[in-house]
């Protein structure tokens, strides 16, 4: 009785498994290996059902034995061939994953390029629109400064002149941050040096920059991303690391560009940062995603109390 119950359960489970396998054929794009395996599973279920028949009709026992033997042979052949050919499915899944990753990179590249295009447009609008207006206002105020005024009016005019001068300076700084003309005109090394010098002059931090690439240009998209990443790293150090020194090295050897960034700040647990949600670790996640879009190799090394070091390798 126990054998009969076990056989009935096996029949039900094997038919259910065979139906699931057959239903999954479309997901494998009708791979011949999966079709063979699915048919093999179905024949195994039929084989179990045929084994059940003698429990009801004893006179069929000899016929069932012969049928089962042939079903066993056919099933073994189908499953063996299916397993040999199943590599097709793994190749298909690997190809699909590669295509997905390529699609993600293309989308990210498109987003970054659209972002940079909008930055350049906004910087140009600010420079060409607000710039002349503020310059005209400064010229008008400067002409008033030259005229004789009582002390109160002169103080107001001089304050207004100062405010307009600060507005022009801020406008130039904003425009340059949106689309740095140094990067466009002189390349990555000069742009990083310019940004680092500006930060060091305004913050209590030493930034040491070395490069052998002052006269070298390469793909503009790679230049922009490496520049944005370096700026983001410097800003992260200023906000979170409480460092005294930053060391940046940008170099090119043959067709390999390497960017090394290190600070002597408080450091962090790399695994802890990567296990945070993207919103919690936005700075580092953003840096990694940008670098992935140009197929860069990235290595981050940091420990609490020992600063951090990041190395980027890019093929150009």
**Helical packing angle, 2-23 and 32-52, nearest 10°:** 160
| Between 216 and 120, residue with greater pLDDT | 216
The predicted pLDDT at position 1 comes to 66
- Give the chain's mean pLDDT: 81
Strand pairing category for 245-253 and 206-211: parallel
Q: With CA atoms as reference, report the closest residue to 205 among 229, 235, 250, 169.
A: 235
Distance CA 60, CA 300 (A): 72
User: What percentage of the chain reaches a pLDDT higher than 70?
Assistant: 91
Tell me which of 255 and 83 has the higher pLDDT.
255
> Tokens 């499915």 identify what position?
89
pLDDT in tens, 195-210: 999 899 888 899 999 9
Q: What is the pLDDT of residues 169-198, one digit of tens each?
A: 777 777 767 777 788 888 999 999 999 998
Please give, one letter per residue, the 3-state secondary structure of 32-44.
Answer: HHHHHHHHHHHHH
> At 310, which helix (H) or strand (E)?
strand 308-315
Average pLDDT over residues 72-93: 78
Q: Using the predicted structure, report yes or no on whether residue 59 has a pLDDT greater than 60.
A: yes
- Over residues 159-172, the mean pLDDT reads 81
**Structure confidence by residue, pLDDT tens digits, 234-250:** 999 998 888 999 999 99
> What's the pLDDT tens digit per position in 112-155?
777 777 777 777 777 677 778 777 887 887 777 777 667 777 78
Structural element, H or E, at residue 301: strand 297-302
Structure-model confidence comparison of residues 59 and 98, the more confident one: 98
What pLDDT is attached to residue 301?
Answer: 92
Phi/psi of residue 248, each to 5°?
-125, 130
- pLDDT digit string, tens, across residues 26-51: 777 667 777 888 888 888 888 877 77
pLDDT at 267 over 80: yes
Residue of higher predicted confidence among 207 and 25: 207
Does pLDDT of 279 surpass 50? no
CA distance readout (Å), 272 to 200, 259, 291, 298:
30, 24, 20, 17
Q: Residue with structure tokens 């910087």?
A: 123
Percentage of the chain lying above the pLDDT 90 cut: 20
pLDDT score of 273 more than 80: no
Q: What is the mean pLDDT of residues 12-18?
A: 81
CA–CA gap between residue 5 and residue 3 (Å, rounded): 6
Tell me what the mean pLDDT of segment 95-106 comes to.
80
Of 102 and 258, which is predicted with more confidence? Answer: 258
- For residue 280, the model assigns a pLDDT of 42
- As a whole number of angstroms, the distance between CA 199 and CA 204 comes to 9
- pTM, two decimals, is 0.61
Query: pLDDT class for 274, splitting at 50, 70, 90?
Result: low
């Amino acid at each position: 009785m126990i054998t009969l119950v076990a056989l009935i359960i096996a029949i039900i489970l094997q038919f259910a498994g065979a139906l699931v396998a057959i239903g999954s054929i479309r997901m494998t794009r009708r791979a011949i290996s999966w079709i063979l395996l699915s048919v093999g599973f179905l024949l195994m279920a039929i084989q179990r059902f045929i084994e059940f028949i003698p429990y009801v009709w004893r006179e069929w026992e000899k016929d069932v034995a012969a049928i089962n033997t042939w079903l066993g042979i056919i099933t073994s052949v189908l499953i063996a061939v299916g397993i040999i050919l199943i590599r097709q499915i793994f190749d298909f899944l690997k190809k699909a994953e590669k295509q997905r990753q390529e699609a993600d990179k293309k989308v990210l590249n498109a987003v970054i390029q659209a972002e940079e295009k909008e930055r350049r447009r906004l910087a140009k609008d600010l420079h060409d629109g607000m710039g002349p207006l503020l310059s005209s206002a400064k010229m008008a105020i400067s002409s008033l400064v030259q005229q004789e005024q009582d002390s109160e009016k002169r103080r107001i005019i001089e304050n207004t002149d100062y405010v307009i001068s600060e507005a022009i300076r801020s406008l130039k700084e904003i425009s340059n941050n949106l689309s740095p003309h140094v990067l466009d005109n002189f390349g990555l090394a000069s742009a990083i040096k310019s940004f680092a010098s500006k930060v060091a002059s305004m913050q209590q931090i030493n930034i040491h920059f070395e490069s052998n690439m002052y006269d070298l240009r390469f793909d503009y998209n790679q230049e922009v991303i490496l520049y944005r990443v370096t700026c983001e790293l410097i800003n992260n150090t200023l906000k979170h690391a409480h460092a005294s020194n930053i060391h940046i090295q940008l170099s090119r050897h043959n067709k390999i560009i390497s960017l090394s960034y290190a600070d002597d700040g408080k450091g962090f647990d790399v695994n802890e940062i990567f296990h945070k949600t993207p919103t919690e670790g936005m700075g580092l996640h953003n840096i990694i995603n940008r670098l992935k879009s140009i197929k860069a190799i990235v290595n981050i090394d940091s420990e609490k109390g020992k600063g951090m070091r990041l190395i980027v390798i890019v093929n150009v």
